[in-house]
Structure 1
Amino acid sequence: MASPRTVRLSCLRPTNTVCVVGTQLLLDVYGCVPPGAVSFEVKRTAGVQATYRHRMVQTEASRNRWPLDSGVEVLVSMDYSSDSLNDNKISVSYYGSEKKDTPLAKARLYFTGVVVSLDVDTSRDGKVNLNRSEQASWTWGSKGQGAILLVNCDREEKCICSGGQDTFNTADLADMSVMYVTTKGPRAAFETHDVVLHITPAEADKVYVYHAIVRKVQEEEAQTSKRVSQDTATESMIRLKHALGDEKLVYKVPLTSPQKNMFFVEGITFPDAGFSGLVSIGVTLMDSSVENIPEVPIFTRNVIFRMTPWIMTPNTLKPVEVFVCSTADNNTFLGELTELVKRAKCKLTICPKVENRGDRWMQDEMEFGYIEDPRKNFPVVLDSPRNRELDVFPFKCLLGPDFGYWTREPEDESEVNSLDSFGNLEVSPPVTVNGKEYPLGRIIFGGTLPTFYGRRMTKVVRDFLYAQQVQSPVELYSDWLIVGHVDEFMTFVPAPSEKGFCLLLASPMACCTLFEEKLKDGHGDALMFKDLDTHQMTIKEILEDKYLIEQNTYVQGCIDWNRGILKKELGLEEKDIIDIPVLFYIPPKDYRAVAFFPDMVNMIVLGKLLGIPKPFGPIINGKCCLEEKVCSLLEPLGLNCTFIDDFSSYHENLGEVHCGTNVRREPFAFKWWNMVA
């Protein structure tokens, strides 16, 4: 409870005050003590409660008179609102040292009890909790409290009406949180007092607050037409007056009579650098009884909202929709991917040539996530700052009703590099690390080594990811790659294990070991890239290429560095990791690596169906030995491996299946606000 407001007394004339139900007032019984007084007595009408605080111990009245030198404090309150102005009273009588019943003087205080309440959904059950005293805090966990705001980043139809009011349909309002300002008490009390909503200047660009005026559609249509359909008659429009936000820091609530005023609160921005995601909205009762004198605050209460974070979805969640581009050279790829998506029973969205403008890298352009409050959730696409030919696709083709859009871009476009494409942005399944739970997984992105100057994801994107809080990011080392994306050497697949998933890591060592086994078995002449219009090499030639082997020894060291980070930050053991055979090479006059053959880690995961880049490895006994090896590693997990030909359309352009596709998935069942911070 807030500190009690002090009320001054006078023995010369009665004092009037308004007392907000549920609050305490501190009576200044010492400010008007008459000469010779040594004790005082408090009497009250039935509507007023009095307690006495002595040495910080609060108690009900247990005696009639109190010594003035005892230091006792008198606290008064009202349990219900008044029926009329000044209908309750307290009198303080002062007595001298002689034992007489006649007081030396009396101070009278007339009370008017009123209700002023600011209420939101603090219990996170989708319902506004009326008259809860403690709403000015926000705590995490299943037993926590505090209201939540969706960031209204989707696009609904809205028309601007005259008089500075916006007309919103029900779809708009579903994205906002309801807030009530409730007043109750004699009307005369509110004629001399104002109820004011307010926010701080620092938070004015984070939310909009609208005062709702409900009018049925048929009332307006009846003025112009006698024909009102039954469907229209059941609809309603809510006109919202912009109360707070932008330059509006204060809003005087119009009180023609005691009432419950409905407000809608709209989140404008996600948590980010310099913004924790918490927003405070206050209501204050102002005494405006004296004309031409500034108002005096006599009561205030705040509520705290937290903006919903943007949440990424890992490979272990159910796929809903697959996105891919149609280009001049990927018909074979599209056909094979389409069959896989049909088997996965997902929706397939193909971005046509006219919209992708030759940009095939659907994964690099955007990342899917979602936002959620206790009432609803909807997907939100995060648009990368790469700004190539696909740049307009997320905004133009995805943004709409209950489908949000967000982007973070640096002011200086020259800061953007390949690591800002979202093939370099992944998220793990839920993990527990040293007893700390991450029920929504952890975001993973690549950068440079801590002791080296190199490429990193741009700061504005990194700051945004860290600010979401619920998927504590992990930064890996990916700058050793030409493209520099984490999806080139790692991915997650579902598995029937205690953790529910396995981490797949690209492994040159595993590939060399496999080839050495085949060489030992007499298959050294088996060709890599047989029947492809590219340079072909036998297993023996690969193993005898000293420079290629040295390059892959270096690459294995880079991947092993990341292996250690992932084991530590995700709480993994070796049994949770599967090494997938992949070779890399470093082109002449370069010092960064790229996949030597289609990188099988760079796959699309659709439930238990995997779309894996076809490696075109050596054919032994009628089977590709690389495909056979990968199947032997993944099929025991209940996974089905489909190898997709992406060689000419993606691999030769320095990407693979995952780079060229994107997947929207169902949200977590776990509610983010139940996390333990």
Structure 2
Amino acid sequence: MIAHRTLRIELGKSTRTLCVVGTENTVYLSRYAPVESKFFSVKCTPSVRCRAVPTTAGGSLFSPQPLTNSSVLFISMDTASELPNESKLSVKFYGSKSEELGNAVLHLTAVEISLDVDADRDGVVEKNNPNKASWKWGPKGHGAILLVNCDSESYGKKEVDNVNEDISKVADLKDMSRMILRTKGPAKLPEGYKLSLHITQTDAESVRVFRNRSAGQPQASSSFKYMLLKLFMEDYPLVLNKEHLAGEVPYLGGNSELEFFVEGLRFPDKDFEGLVTINLSLLEPSAQDFPETPIYTDKVVFRVAPWIMTPNTLNPVEVFVCSTKDNKEFLKGMRNLVQKNGYKLKICHEYMNRGDRWMQDEIEFGYIDAPHHGFPVVLDSPRDGDLRDFPYEKLLGPDFGYVTRYAKAEEVSSLDSFGNLELSPPVIVNGKNYPLGRIIIGVAFPTTVHGRNMTKVVQDFLWAQKVQEPIALYSDWLAVGHVDEFMSFVPAPDRKGFRLLLASPDAAYKIFRNVQKNGNGKAKLFQGKEEEISVDEILGDEKLQAENDYVQNCIDWNRDVLKKELGLDEEDIIDLPILFKILPEEENRAVAYYPDLVNMIVLGKNLGIPKPFGPQVNGSCVLEKEMQLLMEPLGLNCTFIDDFSSYHKLMGEVHCGSNVLRERFSFRWWNLEL
């Protein structure tokens, strides 16, 4: 759309103005004509285009035209001027066609102005994209993308980069989005004209803008490190922030480009949709003691990249576990599993974890992505256990970001630990595509009056990211209350590319009854441990049966939700044989009776499964054998890890005690159809 601007002219005087190439300037002629005027004519130099409405058919503006109250003159210029005021236009008014009443002269300078961003999302800042001032989702969409600068490139004290209002390292620039002001025109603007970059007070909460003042970069030298750092920071002065909503930027003259770096300050959230607008205005001087007025504004729109989770079906990059004084068997099993399959293992030692072994509960790995750059970002849980320093002190760094949400201590429950935050693989549901999967959280049953829920600030954050629409399951029936206690996903070579694994007391009882039927009822669970118990005793425990009937009902409710929300058929679900028990001291909530098979770590085609210590028949654990029968046809390998004393007895398992940084999706989030 062509921009329009209303111009003023003065009878009997010469005025000067700036005209932006590609805009049309409007003069309402009757405003400036003498009262007795009946006609007007217009003359201009060849570089100026003008037309009037209305005019007589075939009439030329060089000869007198009838003047009416609705006579409007439209003025435009197609090419930039080489010198100030080099073009000219004059308007002459007449009482009759031969009676001249006076004229007004307008001296014009034409400039090209374009504030540019990567609106077509190809990593290049193209010139004057027609869609740069709006944002649209989808593969045929448009609009620039901005990363939250939440990693740490800073010298000295570690902190998230966007805490500082300066750029201290070249590497920090790649975390920002380039914006270019392209201008073409005379060497200098006419006196008094200025260019100003500006944002709203609301957008200033979300964005910061720096200018590149130097064509070259300072060369590093250890003997002048401080001086060079100071020089480097001066090469990228801050233009816009919360204290400076507008800032003058230089006009460089000729055919030139001025580079800016735009920094994202916060993620989309309940109070922030994620869109920010940056404006560039050409200011015209007014009379003395009056401020300049804008005569042309160009603008660009950015969307802040969302935080994106990764599912079990993406390839692992690095596995994280804690080392404690009592988890040597667990660590041994994890080390063998991880290293055997060629992945990296990162161990958080006790000086940092202070005995807090629940790596899954403290953090959730995700990432942010833009056409020009992307990097992992860890979401830190508000649980604030003894692992609370680990994500900030050990993970935050160059190209590894950090984000958290703070809640009042009294609002935080076990459901705010991130064993209660999972992600489905990509799915299509009733024709709607979720190529980045769907977030899954656990909450209280809708009719529960005093149930526990994931805190509102975290839920608001997850919903605001938009690209992985959350699903709420019922998990408050569990003592710990995490969805990973009854569900997981594993890759599969067929159907939807994965299977949903669900804990199933019914499946467990079916196996145990078969063991009893085959004459092995005296076979023991937990053989050699204090908890040792026979299959006959388990099947004879009516209270335990009633408890597991209740648990199965809870899981079946979630099963129906997942089938609906993920578009699953029964063939997409595998039931794992797991029993639970109710703890009166935990307000009659449930925990796994034996190590919870579903609470596993998934590393490609290799599964790290809690060793269940099930009944031995013919020298084999029937529960381990069942897991192999269920998983191996999918091309998956089962490794059973002893977590009995160090995790299971503390109401957690392998998945609770580990975490996995994974590769990013190949699908780019901005191509979503929303």
Q: Which TM bucket (shorter chain)?
A: over 0.9
Equivalent residue for 2:455?
458
Q: 1:64 to 1:146 in 2, by over 3 A?
A: same
Give the deviation of 1:358 after TM superposition.
0.6
Secondary structure in 2 aligned to 1:600?
coil
1:202 maps to amino acid: T
User: For the residues of structure 2 that align with 1:666 and 1:223, how far apart are their CA atoms?
Assistant: 40
Aligned residues of 1:371 and 1:380 also touching (Cα < 8 A): yes
Helix, strand or coil: the match of 2:205? coil
Segment of structure 1 superposing worse, 263-272 or 82-91: 82-91
- The reply to whether residue 399 of structure 1 matches residue 396 of structure 2 is yes
User: Is residue 421 of structure 1 aligned with residue 417 of structure 2?
Assistant: yes
The 3-state SS of whatever aligns with 2:340 is: helix
Structure-2 residue corresponding to 1:32: 32
Q: Distance in 2 between the 1:144 and 1:152 partners? A: 24
| Cα pair 2:92 2:104 within 8 Å, conserved | yes
Unaligned runs of 5+ in 1: 226-231
Distance across 1 between alignment mates of 2:467 and 2:562: 18
1:560 and 1:477, CA in 2 relative to 1: closer, same or farther beyond 3 A?
same
Query: Aligned pair in 2 of structure 1 residues 61, 366: CA closer, same or farther (>3 Å)?
Result: farther
Offset, 1:356: 1.0
- Of the three residues 556, 559, 579, the one matched with 1:560 is 556
Provide the C-alpha distance between the structure 2 equivalents of 1:53 and 1:347, rounded to a whole number of angstroms: 74
Deviation readout 1:468-496 (Å, 9 max, x if unpaired): 11111111110000000000001110011
1:254 CA drift (Å)? 3.2
1:302 aligned onto 2:299:
yes
Structure 1 CA distance for aligned equivalents of residues 220 and 173 of structure 2: 20
Query: CA-to-partner distance for each residue in 1:106-132, whole Å, 9 max, x for gaps?
Result: 443221101222111111111111233
Which stretch has the larger CA shift, 73-82 or 100-109?
100-109
Contact 2:286–2:293, Cα closer than 8 Å, also in 1: no
Distance change in 2, residues 1:159/1:598 (3 Å): closer
Matched, 1:474 2:461: no
Greater mean alpha carbon deviation, residues 37-46 or residues 65-74: 65-74
Equivalent positions of 1:125-274 (< 5 A) are 125-158=122-155, 166=166, 168-214=168-214, 216=216, 239-255=235-251, 257=253, 259-274=256-271
Matched-pair contact (CA < 8 Å) for 1:50–1:61: no
Structure 1 range deviating more: 268-277 or 511-520:
511-520
Letter in 1 for 2:663: E
Shift of 1:511: 1.0
Aligned length: 658
- SS, match of residue 252 in structure 1: strand
Amino acid at match of 2:110: G
Question: Which residue number corresponds to residue 538 of structure 2?
Answer: 542
Aligned partners of 2:443, 2:273: CA distance in 1, in Å? 25
Q: 2:371 aligns with which of 366, 369, 374?
A: 374
- In structure 2, relative to structure 1, the CA distance for the partners of 1:562 and 1:158 (3 Å cut) is same
Q: Which amino acid aligns with 1:210?
A: F
Q: Per the alignment, do residues 110 and 217 of structure 1 end up closer, same or farther by CA in structure 2, a change over 3 Å counting?
A: closer
* Structure 2 residue ranges without an equivalent (≥5): 158-163
- CA apart distance, 1:3: 4.8
Q: CA deviation at 1:12?
A: 2.4
Secondary structure of the corresponding residue to residue 149 of structure 2: coil
Question: Which residue is equivalent to 1:320?
Answer: 317
Quick one: which of 582, 589, 592 aligns to 1:586?
582
Matched, 1:21 2:17: no
Partner residue in 1 for 2:518? 521
Residues 9, 31 of structure 1: 8 Å contact kept: no
C-alpha distance in structure 2 between counterparts of 1:62 and 1:350, whole Å: 85
CA apart distance, 1:402: 0.6
Q: Which residue of 1 is the match for residue 341 of structure 2?
A: 344
Secondary structure at the counterpart of residue 595 of structure 2? coil
Cα 1:29/1:72, change in 2 over 3 Å = closer
Matching residue's letter, 1:203: D
CA change 1:440–1:95 in 2 (3 A) is: same
Q: Which residue does 2:87 correspond to in 1?
A: 88
- Residue 441 of structure 1 aligns to which amino acid in structure 2? G
Are residue 332 (structure 1) and residue 338 (structure 2) matched?
no
Q: Which residue of 2 aligns with 1:112?
A: 109
Distance in 1 separating the partners of 2:261 and 2:217: 19
**1:75 counterpart letter in structure 2:** F
Asked if structure 1 preserves the Cα contact closer than 8 Å seen for 2:84 and 2:190, the reply is no
Equivalents in 2 of 1:222, 1:68: separation in Å? 74
Letter in 1 for 2:170: T
Name the residue aligned to 2:160: none
Secondary structure of residue in 1 paired with 2:235:
strand
Change (3 A) 1:581 1:81: same
Q: 1:75 aligns to what?
A: 74
Distance (Å, rounded) in 2 between the aligned partners of 1:541 and 1:112: 96
Query: How far is 1:73 from its partner?
Result: 3.9
Q: Give how far 1:40 is off.
A: 4.0
Tell me if the contact between 2:188 and 2:251 (Cα under 8 Å) persists in the aligned partners: no
Letter in 2 for 1:171: A
Residue deviations 1:266-296 (CA, integer Å, cap 9, x gap): 1111111201111111111111253322111
Q: CA RMSD in A?
A: 2.6
The reply to whether residue 662 of structure 1 matches residue 647 of structure 2 is: no
Match 1:439 to one of 405, 412, 435: 435
Per the TM alignment, residue 36 of structure 1 is displaced from its structure 2 partner at its CA by: 4.9
From 610, 621, 639, give the equivalent of 1:624: 621
* TM-score calculated relative to the size of structure 2: 0.92
Structure 2: distance between partners of 1:111 and 1:441: 57
Partner residue of 2:382?
385
Distance 1:67 1:455 in 2: 79
Deviations 1:602-646 (A, max 9, x none): 000000000011111111122111111121111111111111111
Give 1:540 deviation, angstroms: 2.1
Which amino acid in the other structure matches residue 317 of structure 1? L
Contact 1:216 1:237 in 2 (8 A): no
Bigger CA drift: 518-527 or 310-319?
518-527
| CA positional deviation for 1:68 | 3.8
In structure 2, C-alpha distance between the alignment counterparts of 1:131 and 1:176, rounded to whole Å: 20
Q: Report how far residue 237 of structure 1 moved.
A: 8.1
Mapped to 2, the partners of 1:35 and 1:150 lie a distance apart of: 59
8 Å contact 1:319–1:664 — kept in the other structure?
A: yes
CA distance change for structure 1 residues 444 and 451 in 2, over 3 Å: closer, same or farther? Answer: same
The secondary structure found in structure 1 opposite 2:583 is: coil
Counterpart contact for 1:167–1:239, Cα < 8 Å: no
Aligned position for 1:228: none
Contact 1:320 1:666 in 2 (8 A): yes
Letter in 2 for 1:90: L
Give me the whole-angstrom Cα distance separating, in 2, the residues matched to 1:558 and 1:490: 12
Name the counterpart of 2:161: none
* Cα 1:223/1:625, change in 2 over 3 Å: closer
Distance (Å, rounded) in 2 between the aligned partners of 1:565 and 1:220: 58
In the alignment, the residues of structure 2 paired with residue 135 and residue 425 of structure 1 have an alpha-carbon distance, to the nearest angstrom, of 36
Letter in 1 for 2:491: P
**Shift of residue 200 of structure 1?**
1.0
Equivalent-residue separation in structure 2 for 1:159 and 1:287 (angstroms): 45
**Which 10-residue stretch deviates more, 252-261 or 424-433?**
252-261
Normalising by structure 1, what TM-score? 0.92
- CA 1:72–1:565 in structure 2 vs 1: closer, same or farther (change >3 Å)? farther
* Structure 2 Cα separation of the partners of residues 330 and 195 of structure 1: 64
Q: Tell me if the contact between 2:28 and 2:70 (Cα under 8 Å) persists in the aligned partners.
A: no
Tell me, yes or no, if structure 1 residue 608 matches structure 2 residue 605: yes
Q: Whole-Å Cα distance in 2 between the matches of residues 368 and 190 of structure 1? A: 54
- Establish whether residue 498 from structure 1 lines up as the match of residue 522 from structure 2: no
> Which sits farther off after the overlay, 513-522 or 601-610?
513-522
SS in 2 for 1:151: coil
